[in-house]
Amino acid sequence: MTRMIFVNLPVADLKRSMDFYEGLGFTNEPRFTDETAACMVLSDAIYVMLLTHEKWRSFTKRPIPDTGSSEVSLALTCKDRFEVDRLVLAGAARGGTADVNPPEDHGFMYQRTVLDPDGHVWEPFWMDPAVADGDAHVSQASQQEV
């Protein structure tokens, strides 16, 4: 069986959050969606569960971080630099905030950030396939920049 990941995120407005993730290319899985939660699918192995605050609190008594905090950063590979830019712009057009951290361009890797409407940080990034596959080495100067 393929290992899957379900990222669970608390959201203030379920519809607004679903719209944001649909703008990034996620699709809704209606079998796991109701008025308290939505399952958004990116691939056969990557799912994001959007949970209303009430639903979230049924899983944990820990507080929901405010939108200005930095609880986690979710990095997502992209096929090229253009897809990185497209995802950030699509997210900003759907209620997110682009480039809360400065874009990073290291030559072999390009990364930007977009916050979803609830302040969850997504980092779309592209890495040169030769570096990712281990066929090429990152120069000492580039490693120091990262």
Q: Dump the DSSP string for the chain.
A: ----EEEEEEES-HHHHHHHHHHTT-EEEGGG--SSEEEEESSSSEEEEEEEHHHHHTT--SPPPPTTS---EEEEE-SSHHHHHHHHHHHHHTT-EE-SS--EE-SSEEE--EE-TT--EEEEEEE-HHHHTTSS---HHHHHH-
pLDDT in tens, 92-103: 999 999 999 999
Average pLDDT score over residue span 16-33: 97
pLDDT computed for residue 116 by the predictor:
95
pLDDT in tens, 40-63: 999 999 999 999 999 999 999 888
0.85 surpassed by pTM: no
Domains of the chain by range and CATH? 1-60 (3.10.180.10), 72-146 (3.10.180.10)
Average pLDDT score over residue span 6-10: 95
